[in-house]
């Protein structure tokens, strides 16, 4: 299968409507892909916490509708990255969606680990509770978002639910990009799973997003890696490699 990771630029001086239109056009252009993924909070901006209450959208709002239409136009499975969604009860959640080629929403994941050390996301968002996997035609995918990657126990739990690939959208800052690159590779190696990690780029206030999205195989080999600019990463993934890796080097059997 072919995976495309769109390392989208998010600058807060760009109107949301224009960014959604631009992102939808990029997604619709990925007709050669099987699966496309976008970064975290590319709609609202990963560090625009003070705007979330105003910029949050409903699941039937313009951003999700545009993504559903783009998935249909390109005939692909689309991981929307994440966006701030308002629940029927009014709470705000950092939510990732998986959209099928027919435009239907087949999975939702609300970020469990909120970043901010008593500030930031924690002040305006409600954390999710659920572990979420989704069965795609090629494999079972475990869903997580950005800061989650610092919590390896979550990925062990997703592994125990049958995950063979982890899909990780992020809005990871440039100043800690070395941690990003280390952690996403660690999650691949320790779980013998593919990792598709899609970070954003752009300037949000005084924060520069770091890019360096990557697609990593179960041995920790990098199949594709981005730089610091907007670009589309492309990699071919052989879903049989997960089972083969776990058979050749059966480290997971030795867990205690």
From residue 137, alpha-carbon distances to 12, 78, 93, 134, 141 in Å are: 36, 13, 28, 10, 10
Say which of 2, 17, 21, 40 is annotated catalytic.
Answer: 40
40 catalytic residue (yes or no): yes
From 136, 133, 113, 124, select the one nearest 85 (Cα to Cα): 124
C-alpha dihedral, 244 to 247 to 252 to 256, nearest 10° = 170
198 catalytic residue (yes or no): no
Say which of 121, 146, 164, 198 is annotated catalytic.
Answer: 146
From 200, 218, 217, select the one nearest 208 (Cα to Cα): 200
* Cα gap 30→76, rounded to integer Å: 8
* Cα gap 248→64, rounded to integer Å: 41
Beta strands 140-143; 133-135: pairing state: antiparallel
Backbone conformation region of residue 158, classed left if phi is above 0, alpha if psi is from -120 to 50, else beta: alpha
58 catalytic residue (yes or no): no
From 254, 52, 37, select the one nearest 134 (Cα to Cα): 37
Say which of 111, 121, 164, 198 is annotated catalytic.
Answer: 111
Q: Which residues are catalytic?
A: 40, 111, 146
């Amino acid at each position: 299968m072919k995976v495309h990771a769109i390392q989208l630029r998010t600058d807060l001086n760009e109107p949301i409507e224009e960014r959604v239109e631009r992102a939808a056009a990029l997604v619709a252009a990925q007709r050669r892909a099987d699966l496309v993924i976008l970064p975290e909070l590319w709609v609202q901006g990963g560090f625009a916490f003070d705007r979330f209450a105003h910029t949050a959208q409903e699941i039937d709002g313009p951003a999700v509708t545009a993504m559903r239409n783009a998935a249909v136009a390109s005939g692909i499975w689309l991981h929307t990255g994440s966006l701030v969604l308002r629940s029927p009860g009014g709470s705000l959640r950092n939510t990732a969606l998986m959209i099928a080629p027919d435009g239907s929403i087949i999975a939702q994941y609300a970020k469990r680990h909120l970043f901010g050390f008593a500030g930031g996301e924690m002040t305006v968002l409600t954390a999710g509770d659920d572990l979420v996997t989704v069965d795609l035609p090629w494999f079972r995918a475990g869903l997580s978002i950005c800061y989650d990657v610092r919590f390896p126990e979550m990925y062990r739990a997703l592994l125990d639910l049958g995950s063979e690939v982890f899909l990780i959208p992020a809005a990871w800052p440039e100043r800690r990009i070395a941690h990003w690159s280390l952690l996403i590779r660690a999650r691949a190696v320790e779980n013998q799973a593919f990792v598709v990690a899609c970070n954003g780029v752009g300037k949000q206030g005084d924060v520069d997003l770091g890019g360096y999205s990557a697609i990593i195989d179960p041995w920790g080999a990098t199949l594709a890696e981005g730089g610091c600019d907007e670009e589309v990463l492309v990699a071919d993934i052989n879903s049989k490699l997960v089972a083969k890796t776990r058979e050749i080097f059966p480290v997971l059997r030795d867990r205690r």
